[in-house]
Structure formats: structure tokens, C-alpha cells
Amino acid sequence: MPDDNNSNPLERLAAMLDDDMRATNGVIIRRMQSPVELIPQLATYLIAAGGKRIRPLLTLAATHIYGGDLKHAQKLAASVEFIHTATLLHDDVVDESLERRGKEAANLVFGNQASVLVGDFLFSRAFELMTECENIQILKILSNASAIITEGEVLQLSAAGNINTSMDDYIQIITSKTAALFAAACEVGPVLAGAEQTQAKAMHDYGHYMGIAFQIADDALDYSSDRETLGKVIGDDFREGKITAPILLALKNADAAESEFWARTLVKGEQNDTDLKTAQDILNKHDSINGSLALAQEYADKAQLALEKIPESPLRALLHDLVPYTIFRKA
Amino acid sequence: MPDDNNSNPLERLAAMLDDDMRATNGVIIRRMQSPVELIPQLATYLIAAGGKRIRPLLTLAATHIYGGDLKHAQKLAASVEFIHTATLLHDDVVDESLERRGKEAANLVFGNQASVLVGDFLFSRAFELMTECENIQILKILSNASAIITEGEVLQLSAAGNINTSMDDYIQIITSKTAALFAAACEVGPVLAGAEQTQAKAMHDYGHYMGIAFQIADDALDYSSDRETLGKVIGDDFREGKITAPILLALKNADAAESEFWARTLVKGEQNDTDLKTAQDILNKHDSINGSLALAQEYADKAQLALEKIPESPLRALLHDLVPYTIFRKA
């Protein structure tokens, strides 16, 4: 088990769970097969492109901590990744995205129609996989999380371009669209192992707060020039008029000219080539990126606090270290 | 219980199951609620527009026949209708439909984005509802059917405009996209009641063959001038280049000019205002509508044969009569 101190906590977690992660990837590859060729083609395009696999790692880690059935955990981990991938496919159709995971977005390569339907396929396949674990409580947790995710997506769609969105509204949106799946991915571990309700609650809370912190950081990164220097696309949220943490912090302190700028670019959606740079300058003026990361830190602290209720172990220590990493990552 | 001989078998079935159908509609209305207003708005738009409710009626009938738990059956019936509605919402986005159930299509009224996400919500909610019945076998049946439906939709998308599609390919597409849910809707009844495996198989087969017959008839109706006189939109499949039973029968007997016509209109998708009329004329010349209905009849016969394996009852008699009705309906 490589445990190189130069690697980041996500890499160390993946290394510690290497066998299970390989088995999970095997499940992912096998279960996205279909005699309908377009399905594995499109699914492979997106899933093979990688992504951090943070959600399946959480499910595997949470199962290990409580000694649950690892064969079942691998199926649930694959299931969670399928749900996540399905929402990415549908998001990219909804947002008319150009790029995903450093590649041209699937909707552009295969068409919106295929992206909608293959998303549906992965979603159905996720439920099929879950049922194989024959645990009703787990099915309830994951189906409930799925419904909440889609509520969050619809809420986000309704809030786009609405600068009257409050910070509470924003937290509600990201809690639904991101934290619900993080929480469920963690909670199924102790439930699978038949652990006490307090343990399931602690793991749920860990995932919940980390999901919120993760998404706030993600929304800050979408304006970060550091990320730009890594060759990543930035400014997607700006182009889509999404009202995220950095925008909310800048709006609070906006002068008249800035208010006019946000109204034109985010509410009316009238944007020219220099507007993203101007938006970044305004965010920097109000220190809104750092302000967002400070907000993320508040949730990160709660995530680490939740971990104190679970038994000490090397995995718990890694989950602890994973929290700041998800906030201060660059990509 | 009204049992008017002038009413059609679907109306008589709905009358016989009136209490359960009302309760199911109650579940449908309650469970499509969400604090996110756009969700019930869009769902109500589509679900309140009606539709035949044939799938939930099948679930209720199949449960009654075997004396299963009706509270659970109502949830499963709502679940099946949610899955069906979700696929309609996504289909209309994929097909760029203009109309559904006699109203402007939801994607035009609310946008593609909302249609995709609310479809996802209904799909998730369907799974939540199912889990409340706490029966793993039922969850397996319905999640498997969902995956098969989406495979069928993708297969249909891949086959559009391909006049090399065979009749076998076509039957495979409609088996997946339509018959799988009919079969599952029927099968969950005996499974819920803990009936013997042979009974679950018989109800499954009934739904399976009726679903195929239903879809072939539906595809024939899409070119039927009778339906046009009722003020229904026809020709959607033609505009989308779908290779359905009437087209396959006409292609088999096409002369050179007709082959050229189908290649232009269906393969290249070059259509003008008079082409639908020309297509109907060619189908009439080859008697392809009647040929399609004769094909539907073959599957209808198998559906009725499957029913012979289940215990005699007034409900069985109605399910028997329902089969020809689904073929020879006008709308």
C-alpha cells in the first residue's frame, strides 16, 4: 500500500482502497455494457475520462470502517458513480456545456438526445445495482437522495439569473444538488454493516457538510485564475448566470456600476468577451473568492466534527485530511 | 360499479377499479409535490392532461386478481405511471415534439431543461415510492424494466432514418421501449401477492405481448386518416424518420420511385408539406396500415393465450377484452 507523503489525501485514500476501487471500476465497466452500442460508447467517453471518483471512495471507506460486505459496497460505489455520471450528462444538456473533465462535452460529441437517454440508462442501472444488495434501507437512502438531487437541479434552474437569490437559497441548492449524494454515499457504509443509527447519522453528516464545502469551493474555483493557468475552463457559471457564493458576496458590496454590470451580465445574460475578466476583477476587489473559501471552511469544520463520533482508525484520519483538500484543491 | 355495455373495455376496467384508481391518483398528486414550484407545475401540466392510465390499471387489476395488498399496489401503480411520464417528458425533448396529449408539449411550454430535470425527479420519485413496498423482487422487476426502456429508446434513436432496420429490429425496439413496462406493470401484481412463479410469468407474458400489440397499433395510428378526423396530430414518426411497422411493410414492396421517396424523406429527412399525404397514399396502396394491425393481432392473440393460465374472474375477462381494444382504438 503506497502511502507517499507527497501525494494528496484523495490519492492516499485511493491507494489505501486500491483493491476495492479496482473491483468497483470493474463493476462500473461491466454494468455500463449494453447490446445497444451507443450506450457503452457514450458512457465510456465520460467515465473513462476519469473524474475524481470521490463519491465511490467515500462509500468504500465508510464500509471498511464498519466492516460491511465489500462486494455489496463495490456495487453501491458503482451505483453512486452512475447516479453522479447521469446527473453530469443531464446537467451538460441543461447547461449547454462545451467541456467536461477536460474533454469536449458528451452532448456536443453524441448529441443532446443521446446524452438524455444514456443518462436515464445509467440512472436505471444504478437502481438495478442497488437492488442486488437486497437492503431496503439502503434503497430508501439512495432513491431519496436522487429525488433531492433533481429538486436541487430544478431549484438551481429557477434561480439562474435571479440576483435576489439569498445565501440561504444558495446553500439549499448546493445541499440538494451536491451534498445529498455525498451524504448518502457515506451513510450507506454503516447501514450496509448494520452499524448503530448514531454511526449512520455521523457518516451522513460528514458527507453532508463535506459536500457543501466541496461545492462552495467548486463554485469559487470557477472564477479562479489559478485554475485558468492549469488549462481548465473557467467561467461556466458566469456564462449560465448561476448565482453562486462568490457572486453573492460581491453583490452584497456592489457599488452602482457593479450592480449594473451584474444585472446586465447575469440577469439579462448580455455578455461580451471581456466581461468574465471584469467579473474576476470585481470578485478580487471584494475578496469574494477568499470569502467563499472561508465559508466553505465553516462547513469543513462541521464535517471534521462529525467524524469525531466515529471510531478512530487510519481511514478516519484520511477522511479527516480529505476535507481541507476538497476545499483547497486547484482543479 | 357502473358497467355500461356501451363503454369500452378500458372504461369498464377503470370503473371496476374506481376506488383504487382514485387512491392511486391521490398518490400521484401527493407524490409529485415539491417545495420547488416548477416541479408540480410541470408535472401537473402533463399528468392532469390525462392519458389513458392503462399501465396503473394493469397493476391494480393484476393485484386484485391475486389478492395482494392494495395500498402497496396503489404506490406501485403511481410508480409505473411516474416512470411512464418521465419517459414521455424525455422523449418529447429527444424528439423535439410539438404536442402531447392534445396540449402543447411540456418542453415547449417549460423548456427542455425543465423537462429533462422534472423527468429525472419523477423517475427518482418512482423509485422512492417502490421502496416503500419493501419488496426486493418488485424493485428488481421495475428497475430492470427501466433500464430496458432506456436501452430501447437509445436503440430507436440509433435506428431513426435507417431503412435497413429489419422487422426483428423494430420488434426489439418496441419490446424494450413499450412492452417491458407493460410486462412489469402486470407482473408486480402476483409478486406483491406472493403468487406462484407460473402466475407471475403468465401476467408478465400478458403485459409483454399486449405492449407489443399496443405499440404496433400506435405506430399504425400515427399515419391513420381516421385519427386525423378526430383532430389528433398525426405524422410525428414520419417527421422524425422513425422506421415503424407500416413503413417496414411499405418498404418491402416499394417500387423505384417509392424507394427514392422514402430515402429522401426518412433517410435524408428532406420533407415538404405534401410528403405526409404522399406517405399515407403509399401506405394505403400497399395496405400497410391493415398489415400492421394484422401483425398487432398476432401479438394480441398471444396476450390472450397467456391469460388462459390465470384463474377465471370478471377482471380476467376484462383484461381479455382490453387486448383488441388497445389495437382497434382510434386515438
Residues of chain B with pLDDT under 70: 1-6, 49-50, 97-102, 225, 227-232, 331
* Beta-carbon pairs below 8 A across chains A and B: 138
pLDDT at B133: 95
ipTM of the complex: 0.90
One DSSP character per residue, A238-265 reads: HHTT---HHHHHHHHT--HHHHHHHIII
Give first-to-last CA distance, chain B, whole Å: 26
- Closest Cβ opposite residue B157 in set A117, A127, A150: A117
Distance set, CA B303 to CA A118, B81, B207 (Å): 31, 21, 7
Closest CA–CA distance from residue A151 to any residue of chain B (Å): 6
Q: What pLDDT sits at residue B158? A: 87
The per-residue pLDDT string of chain A (331 residues; one tens digit each, 9 = 90 and over) reads 444 556 899 999 999 999 999 999 999 999 999 888 888 888 888 777 667 899 999 999 999 999 999 999 999 999 999 999 999 889 888 777 666 666 777 777 788 888 899 999 999 999 999 999 999 999 999 999 999 999 999 999 888 889 899 999 999 999 999 999 999 999 999 999 999 999 999 999 999 999 999 999 999 999 987 766 666 778 889 998 999 999 999 999 999 999 999 999 999 999 999 999 999 999 999 999 999 999 999 999 999 999 999 999 999 999 999 999 988 877 6
Domain boundaries, chain A: 9-328
Residue A268 DSSP code: S
Distances (CA, A) of B53 to A238, A318, B49, B62, B123: 43, 52, 11, 14, 17
Report chain A residues whose CB lies below 8 A from the CB of B118: 150, 154
In angstroms, the CA A203 to CA B18 distance is: 46
Q: Which residue of B has its CA nearest to A138?
A: B131
Q: What angle do CA A148, A121, B85 make, to 5 degrees?
A: 65
User: Does A143 contact B121 at a Cβ distance shorter than 8 Å?
Assistant: no
B125 touches chain A (CB under 8 A): yes
Residue B130, all three cell numbers: 417502490
State residue A25's pLDDT score.
92
Q: How far apart are CA B266 and CA B243, in angstroms?
A: 8
Task: Please give the residue of chain A at the shortest CA–CA distance from B154.
Answer: A117
The pLDDT value given to residue A172: 96
Query: Is the CB of residue A1 less than 8 Å away from at least one CB of chain B?
Result: no
Exposed e or buried b per residue across A313-326, where buried means at least 16 C-beta atoms within 10 angstroms of its C-beta:
eebbebbeebbbbb
CA distances from A24 to A211, A314, B41, B115 (A): 22, 21, 39, 32
What are residue B100's DSSP bridge partners? B103
d(CA A13, CA A77): 14
* Whether the Cβ atoms of residue A122 and residue B147 lie closer than 8 Å to each other: no
Q: A191 contacts in B (CB within 8 Å)? A: none
CB within 8 Å of chain B, chain A residues 134-193: 134, 136, 139-140, 143-144, 146-147, 149-151, 153-155, 157-158
Which CATH architecture fits A9-328? Orthogonal Bundle (1.10)
Q: Is B105 at the interface with chain A, CB within 8 A?
A: no
Which chain A residue lies closest to B41 (C-alpha atoms)? A154
* b/e map A291-310, b = 16+ CB within 10 Å: bbbebbbebbebbbebbeeb
Q: Which residue has the cell 421517396?
A: B261
Cβ contact A11:A52 at 8 Å:
no
User: What residues in B contact A138, CB-CB < 8 Å?
Assistant: none
The helix or strand, by DSSP H or E, that contains position A214, with its residue range, turns out to be helix A197-221
